[in-house]
A and B are shown apart, each in its own frame.
Chain A
């Protein structure tokens, strides 16, 4: 554990000198500020932010993460010649990726909301959920990035696969869901749609939030199914658990690959 913390500390120093992370925090800061000024009331601003969050966090995390993993080869080589176990290095590197990105997101979104005193009693809960969803997505796509970076040695190929995964879950998936609903309109669709939602972390994050906004129109088909079948409380728990599985499963696969890899 001590070793992991030491590695995280040095990785943080390395990553924080990287302007990407600063720019990422600034982006959330400016986007939130703008939405607050344009949208007025903060539930609306939060809802608009949700759309930014579910598209942008996966994109930035998976791309940055894949580049980061390839870029950390030097560090890996240096540290594995030291008395450092591979698992400790892996966890340290993973935290060194996910912690700064999550922090950039949390700080970027929270600061303007707090500065404007825009939060009321019920929007506090929404903000908390939004932050949970954003951090969970960072974890999920961080784990996927680490898996891609660990399995694919070629930088460009890795980046291509990362972009492909993002396009699939963030863009193509909605089309697939729509197609399923239309094509099988005459059949009961609850179970397949529920399965489709759990198969896509972006959908899970979206459902997590939409369950708590009183905006049925914005729920989309999967959100509505989630609400109807599982209800709000169970739905929230299931979505968070689903996101947890989406982080741990690729993470464990990546760890296994890392422990067997020739550096």
Chain B
């Protein structure tokens, strides 16, 4: 679905992504993990065109991203921190995005219902709590049945009920053939979601493959321990080239 080759980004003197190659396979959930400031969010935002890459190329369904915006009709993005125009109501946002996507865009309001957002949508966003905003944020990402979901720390700030509702939804979308990129620090949670894991450190992919390969390669029983092992070593731990290059 997504093919990234040689993607490089610096903020001033800080290199955030260095010559990054990564494939996001279609119809599966790819988890991007890594410590803070390893470049996960930047990678997501480069796919969306929010951040401009300095070098390298990204293809979406084989098509090179070059500053055009139409491909974003097929993406649903849930940013890490939901920042909304304060004076609008949730319903205004839903209406506005529906307007922008055009009348033919498919709609999926399941999460609005499941996350009990109905009454909340009529209040100005500024009065809502962080968790409630995060629920709206999630519902908006799924609203137009996107082919690709980019979820940045989706469960941060959600209560356990909302969090598992969201995870169930992700799994249902995968069954429906949609592709999903999830970043998270809560690795135990990725265990039940991820078909693929990409481990990012200092702006480089240090491992890419299935969770089983990762666990086998590090000799650890869980994803969390396997990743911890990788982070302690801080170097390429598992032969990862076939996974990084192979799946498309």
Using a CB–CB cutoff of 8 Å, the interface residues on chain A facing chain B are 3, 6, 10, 13-14, 17-18, 72-75, 77-86, 260, 262-263
Question: Which residues of chain B have C-beta atoms less than 8 A from A85's C-beta?
Answer: 68-69
In the assembled complex, B99 has its CB within 8 A of some CB on chain A: yes
A18 in contact with B69 (CB, 8 Å): no
Q: Are B69 and A83 in touch, CB under 8 angstroms?
A: yes
State whether A13 and B50 are in contact (beta carbons under 8 Å apart), knowing that A83-B69, A83-B72, A84-B100 are contacts in the complex.
Answer: no
Q: Is the CB of B92 within 8 A of A81?
A: no
Q: Which residues of chain B come closer than 8 Å to A74, judged between CB atoms?
A: 83-86
Do the beta carbons of A81 and B72 come within 8 Å of each other? yes
Q: Does B69 contact A263, Cβ atoms closer than 8 Å?
A: no
Please tell me if the beta carbons of A13 and B88 are within 8 angstroms of each other in the complex.
yes
Task: Evaluate whether A80 and B85 lie within 8 angstroms (CB atoms) in the complex, with A3-B100, A6-B96, A6-B100 already known.
Answer: no
CB distance from B42 to the nearest CB of A (A): 9
Interface residues on B, range: 20 to 34
Knowing A6-B100, A73-B83, A83-B72, say if A262 contacts B51 (CB, 8 Å). Answer: yes
**Can you list 21 residue pairs at the A/B interface with Cβ under 8 Å?**
A6-B96, A6-B100, A13-B87, A13-B92, A74-B84, A74-B85, A75-B85, A77-B79, A78-B83, A78-B84, A81-B48, A81-B79, A83-B71, A83-B72, A83-B100, A85-B68, A85-B69, A260-B52, A262-B45, A262-B51, A263-B51
Tell yes or no: B73 within 8 A of A by CB. Answer: yes
Q: Which chain B residues lie closer than 8 Å to A72 at the CB level? A: 85
A10 cross-chain contacts in B, Cβ below 8 A: 88, 92, 96
Which chain A residues lie closer than 8 Å to B100 at the CB level?
A: 3, 6, 79, 82-84
- Rounded to whole Å, the gap between the CB of B203 and the closest CB of chain A is 15
| Nearest CB of B to A262, in Å | 4
A263: nearest chain-B partner, CB-CB: B50
B87 touches A80 (CB 8 A): no
Whether the pair A82, B85 counts as a contact (CB closer than 8 A) is no
A83 with B85: CB separation less than 8 A: no
Give the distance to chain B from A68, nearest Cβ to Cβ, in Å. Answer: 11
Residues in A whose Cβ lies below 8 Å from that of B50: 77, 80-81, 262-263
Is B75 interfacial (CB 8 A cutoff)? yes
The verdict on B97 contacting chain A, using a C-beta distance below 8 Å, is yes
| Additional pairs, 8, CB under 8 Å, beyond known A13-B92, A84-B100 | A72-B85, A73-B83, A74-B85, A78-B93, A83-B73, A260-B52, A263-B45, A263-B51
CB-nearest residue of chain A relative to B93? A78
How far does the Cβ of B53 sit from chain A's closest Cβ, in whole Å?
10
Residues of B near any A CB (own CB < 8 A):
11, 45, 48-52, 68-73, 75, 77, 79, 83-88, 92-93, 96-97, 99-101
Residue of B nearest to A89 (CB): B69
Which residues of chain B are near A84, meaning CB under 8 Å?
A: 69, 72, 100
- Asked if B87 contacts A14 (CB within 8 A), the reply is yes
Question: How far is A203 from B103 in the complex, measured between Cα atoms in Å?
Answer: 48
Least CB distance, B168 to chain A, in whole angstroms: 24
In the bound assembly, the distance between CA atoms of A72 and B84 in angstroms comes to: 9
* Interchain CA distance A81-B97 in the complex, whole Å: 10
Across-interface contacts of A75 in B (CB, < 8 A): 85
- The answer to whether B83 and A77 have CB atoms under 8 Å apart is yes
Q: How far, in angstroms, from A43 to B51 measured CA to CA in the complex?
A: 54
Q: How far is the CB of B237 from chain A (nearest CB, A)?
A: 31
Residues of A within 8 A of B72 (CB): 81-84
Assembly CA distance A3 to B99 (angstroms): 9
Nearest 9 Cβ contacts at the A-B interface: A83-B73, A74-B83, A81-B77, A263-B50, A83-B72, A262-B51, A17-B87, A85-B69, A75-B85
Cβ–Cβ < 8 Å partners of A83 in chain B: 69-73, 100-101
B154 to chain A, nearest CB (A): 14
Residue from B48, B71, B83, B86 within 8 A of A80 (CB atoms): B48
A73 neighbours in B (Cβ, 8 Å): 83
Complex CA gap A96/B61 in Å reads 35
Q: Which of B49, B79, B100 has the most CB of A within 10 A?
A: B100
CA of A86 to CA of B84, assembled, Å:
18
Whole-angstrom distance from the CB of A4 to the nearest CB of chain B? 11
CA distance A85 to B51 in the complex (A): 14
Which of A6, A10, A78 is most buried by chain B, counting CB atoms within 10 A of its CB? A78
Q: Would you give the shortest CB distance from A67 to chain B, in whole angstroms?
A: 13
**With the chains together, A150 CA to B86 CA distance in Å?**
20
Q: B85 and A14: CB pair below 8 A?
A: yes
Q: For the complex, give the distance between the alpha carbons of A80 and B50 in Å.
A: 7
Q: How many angstroms from the CA of A84 to the CA of B92 in the assembled complex?
A: 17
Residues from chain A with a CB closer than 8 A to the CB of B101 are 82-83
